[in-house]
Amino acid sequence: MSLSTVICIGMAGSGKTTFMQRLNSHIRSKKEVPYVINLDPAVLNVPYGANIDIRDSIKYKKVMENYQLGPNGAIVTSLNLFSTKIDQVIKLVEKKRETHDLCIIDTPGQIECFVWSASGAIITESFASTFPTVIAYIVDTPRNTSPTTFMSNMLYACSILYKTELPMIIVFNKTDVKKADFAKEWMTDFEAFQQAIREDQDANGDFGMGSGYMSSLINSMSLMLEEFYSTMDVVGVSSYTGEGFDDFLDAVDKKVDEYEEYYKVQREKILKEKEEKEKAKKEKSLNGLMSDLGLDDKKKTDDDSADVVSDIEEGENDGFVDRDEDEGVEREYTFAGDERIKGEVNESNEPLLQKRYQEAFEQVSKTASSETAENIARYVRQ
C-alpha cells in the first residue's frame, strides 16, 4: 500500500477547511481512513479530527506576545518553529503507510504565509521527497465570475505550480452556489474568454479595461495561460452537498501516477545533481587544504612539456628514440665530489658510497634535533 499526500492551498475564504471536512467524511464513507494534518495555527476550531495539529505544539497567541508580532507574522513564525520538527512529522506519517492511502493537509488561510515562506517550502519539500504529493488549489467559484478576477486567480495558481514544481489540481469549490461550467469553458476556449471580457467591459463601463495597454495585457496573459490550462486537471466540488468529490479523488489518482512518471524522476535528477555539486565542492575544499599544507603534488607548468628537443621533434619516429638498455649498452655512473670515490661507481667502491650516505644522514638528524630543541626552549621562554 502506497500513501500519497494532498496539500490544500487557497485564498482566504475559498473554503479550504470546509473542503477538508467534506473530503475527510467522503473518504470515511468509503470505509477508508485518511491521515489528517492541520497546519493553521490561528484557527479556533476545525470541523474534523486531526491526527497532527500544529496547535498542539505551537501556541499562536503566545508567539504574538513573545515576539511582538502581528497576525501574519505570528503565523509565519509558528510555521518556522513547526518546520524545525518536520522530520519527526514525516516519521509519524511514514508509520501509517500500511494503514492509510491518503494524507490530507490543511494550510493557513493567509496563502502567502505558507506558499512564499521558507517554512512552507521546507514542509512541502519534505513531504514531496518522501511521498507522492499533489497540490489542490481551492478556488471560490462565485467570486471568480468576473474574467479579470478569474485571470488573477489563475495567475496565482500558475505561480504556485512553478514554485512548488508539483502536480496540481484546480478545485472550483461552492458549486452549489455557482456552477463551474463557465470557468471550464474559459480554460478551454480562448474565444469564449475574450467574449466574456468584452461583455464585462460593456456591462461595467469604461474603468480602464478598455485602454490599449490593459486590453493588450489581458490578451497576452490569457494566451500565456492556455499552456498552463492544458496541464491542469479541473474539478468542480461542493463542500456543502458533497458533489464532485469522487471526481476529485479520481484526479488525485491520476496526478499521483503523473508524479511517479515525471515529477519523481525530475526531483531525483535534481537531488543527484545537488549531491554531485556538494561532492565537487568538498573535493575542491580538500584540494585547497592539501595545497595550503604543501602536501599536493607539484603541478607541471606549460614549459615542462618541452624540456628536450626530442619531445617536440616530429620525424620518422615522432620524437621517440630507443633507450641504451634496448641496444645492449651497459654504463657505470660517476659520483663527483668525493676523493675516496674516484671515477666510476662500481662494486669495489660501493661500500664507501653507502658509508657516506650514512654520515650525511646522521649529520642531518643532529642538526634537526638541535634546531627543534632551540625552538622548544625559545617557546618556553616566551
What is the pLDDT at residue 138?
96
Q: What is the pLDDT of residues 194-227, one digit of tens each?
A: 888 888 777 766 554 545 566 677 777 888 888 8
pLDDT in tens, 223-267: 888 888 888 899 999 999 999 999 999 999 999 998 888 887 877
- Single pTM value for the model: 0.70
Convert the pLDDT of each residue in 161-197 to its tens digit. 989 989 999 999 999 999 999 999 999 888 888 888 8
Q: Residue 194: is it exposed, middle or buried by C-beta count within 10 angstroms (0-12/13-18/19+)?
A: middle
Averaged over 59-77, what is the pLDDT? 93
CA distance 104 to 115: 17
End-to-end Cα spacing for the chain: 72
Give the pLDDT band of residue 159 (cuts 50, 70, 90). Answer: very high
Q: What is the mean pLDDT of the chain?
A: 81
Percent of the chain with pLDDT over 90: 48
Taking the C-alpha atoms of residue 218 and residue 150, their distance in angstroms, rounded to an integer, is 11
Confidence band (pLDDT; 50, 70, 90) for 320? Answer: very low
- The helix-helix angle for 190-204 and 181-188 (nearest 10°) equals 120
pLDDT of residue 204: 67
Burial of 143: CB neighbours in 10 Å, binned 0-12, 13-18, 19+: middle
Least confident of 226-240, 285-299, 341-355: 341-355
Q: What would the mean pLDDT of 301-326 be, rounded to a whole number?
A: 46
